[in-house]
Copies of this chain bind each other. A is one copy, B any other.
């Protein structure tokens, strides 16, 4: 029973959650996924980075269970796995736009 809601584990988890949204490339990836599933190839084209760079970022987001990937043939499709993160994203965006 933790008396205080903010024990060391929670602190690092919380930092890690926000860290997932703390980089422009990841912001663009999540933004692209807001409307639904997107292929890795599309992301690569849209972001203008190498496949490798995108793949590395996707792995980080998948490790944090923020996205999910599905393989179909030789293509991989990416979608949001954590709707709470979408909520944070939208609120953050609201804040910087009309805030």
Q: Which B residues are CB-close (under 8 A) to A85?
A: 95
How far, in whole Å, are A1 and B97 apart by their CA atoms in the complex? 13
How far, in whole Å, are A27 and B7 apart by their CA atoms in the complex? 11
Q: Which B residues are CB-close (under 8 A) to A96?
A: 10, 13-14, 17
**A35 on interface, CB distance cutoff 8 Å:** no
By beta carbon, the residue of chain B nearest A16 is: B22
- Size category of the binding interface on chain A: 20 to 34
How far, in whole Å, are A26 and B89 apart by their CA atoms in the complex? 19
The answer to whether A27 touches B5 (Cβ under 8 A) is: no
**A45 on interface, CB distance cutoff 8 Å:** no
**A88 on interface, CB distance cutoff 8 Å:** yes
